[in-house]
Structure 1
Amino acid sequence: MRDREATGVRAHELLAPSEGALRVKLCGMSRDEDIAAVNDAGPDLCGFVINFPRSPRSVSPESLGRLVGELDETILAVGVFVDQPATFVAQVAHDLVDVVQLHGSERNSYITRLRTLTDAPIIQAFRVRTNADVMRANASFADLVLLDNGWGTGRSFDWSLIGGIRRPFMLAGGLTADNVAGAVGALSPWGVDMSSGIETDGRKDPQKIKAATQAARGALR
């Protein structure tokens, strides 16, 4: 059984800004075999899309409990939520996950409310299309921001827009074992997040999971 107190402490330590370290997050796990592959690869964070039927990667809180229970304690569990009630998000954070990721249209007022309900670190994702999206990310009350192309499109956004970011960020969108090292070298993100780029025919691929994690880990060497 995971030591929730220990992983909670580690979550805050992990999300603190750090020089010379790249954090690796793999997202969209929904099967037992996905967790086995993640445990073998050893990323820093593992994400689960919760109660979002539009995504084929969505899991119920019941399935989440089983999957997180199988996750290695050295890997932090991230709950990914899309416009869910703050009380629900806080309850899942209390019971099951170490980090909250907001991937909908949540505003700073929502984050303020959520902070009264949970002390779990908060990541907020932004779909980047214009400089205005980057400015919104700069102004977010979240502990960390994630810059993405959208929901599991498998494509990157216009990376030239990242020049306007003024805070540590996680990069997502179209990252694979083939391009993640180049992205890290060019953009110097706090971390990288990969989901569709570690899949084959819509399913998580153990070989791609391991290769992408190793490529990201080697990017700063």
Structure 2
Amino acid sequence: MSNGKHLMAWFIVIMVAFWSTPLFITDAQNKERIVTELGTVASLFGEKTHNLVVDNANSLYQALVIQTGLQAVIDARVVSREQQQQSEHFYGQTLTKMSERTNTYLSNAASNFYGLSIRTQLLVMWFPLLIPFLLGAAADGFACRLIKLSSFGYFSPGVHSVAAHALIFLACLPILYLIAPFVMSPFWIPFMALVAAVALRQVIINAQRFFG
């Protein structure tokens, strides 16, 4: 599989996962997960960091869902009890049951967006530490590559290919982390960066000569 097809496959998986999650994870379960993760943040990093994450997540949710009109669209699609009763005169309970499922999905989707906002802020919280680390891994990879070039070392296409596919997977992991419907420790973020740094270094070292 080419790198482009691999990336497209993960894009499809992420889209399907994001929009199908509200079918299985309820609003109450989402809220419980958010509360648990924020409690972990408060215990590990302190109340100041906890409050900063919450404030920034609220601002992000406001920008993504409220100000864009998405919340208004969701609210407009919710079927009221009055509308359900009116339809029952003609269609019985069939449309009522369908609308209840639709209402539940919309409610779950809204809380899913808020959970995404919280996870996004947790990811951003680590950026000042992780970006220099990844840049250092890339610089080390280039340095090792130059050593190989000067000593006529072997550039393994196999290692490059495996590392490149691993890097694509690892690049998609943060997005999967944002939408994962279960509780995850914030320490997953630096762990993913550590593994990604190893793959990035190998991709650079073993890239074919047209790359360097």
For normalisation by structure 2, the TM-score amounts to 0.21
For normalisation by structure 1, the TM-score amounts to 0.21
Higher relative contact order (CA 8 A, sep 6+): 2
Greater fraction helix: 2
Q: Which structure has the larger Rg over C-alpha atoms? A: 2
Greater fraction strand: 1
